[in-house]
Amino acid sequence: MDGETYVENGSAWSPFRSVSDLQLKQPTTKRFIYVVRPFLGNRTGVLVIKSNRLATQADADDDKKRVRLVRGPVTKEKDCEEEPAYFPKGGKTVSTQAYEDYHDYPAKDTAALRKDEGTLRAFHFEYQSAAKRRCARTDDDSYDRFPFNRNSNRAQFSYDSEVVSSGLYYPWRLAWRAASPFEGSAEHLTTAMKYETAGGLACVLFSLPLRPTEYVIRINDIEGREKPPSNRRVGDRRFP
């Protein structure tokens, strides 16, 4: 089934429900599989995996105010023009403010973005989008259907559920901002994993570093749509 998520337990894979169910005894890195099953045919797409946990008094400022960006393997697609920018395998970090300015608001120039926009732009890449019927970047902010559907690829990277479901905030919200989705949380990690289905299926493997505490994990398939002919995006899958 599309969206099924499994976690590796020893030599077996089990349906994933929450990190607390794993009963971790020490910090570890866990492997997961996310199943992609399109309604029709095959497609290229990108999973966006966002994770964080409640902050504690022991957390350093960087744990609370930085987002680590990690990108899986990406190669240039035959019919697309843009070469993926170099991005280190271990990832890079940006401030939560820059991340929010870039993915939640139509901000063009803020102090935070002046420091981190280059890293954010390098993290994102172009792929062949079946939903948009063209090559599109993962940070494409064009509306899915103007003016009725304001959602976009870029909005899917937000940690704000309202932005994920409805699209970027209007420009006037820059002067009247919503509460930060990062408030009270730490260890923010955004992972982008490109996939390509074959025979109507892809099992997308990714890893997350975890500690013995509860995490909130959200997974968005930026090509995922409701049953045709709808072009509405499938909402993020949240654990727990």
Per residue in 183-238, pLDDT (tens digit) is 999 999 999 999 999 999 999 999 999 999 999 999 999 999 999 888 899 989 99
pTM: 0.95
Per residue in 176-185, pLDDT (tens digit) is 788 999 999 9
Per residue in 199-210, pLDDT (tens digit) is 999 999 999 999
Write down the domain spans for the chain.
Answer: 5-239
pLDDT value of position 97: 96
Token reading at 162 = 């309202």
Between 1 and 197, the more confident residue is 197
Report percent pLDDT > 70 for the chain: 98
Residue 172 has pLDDT above 60, yes or no: no
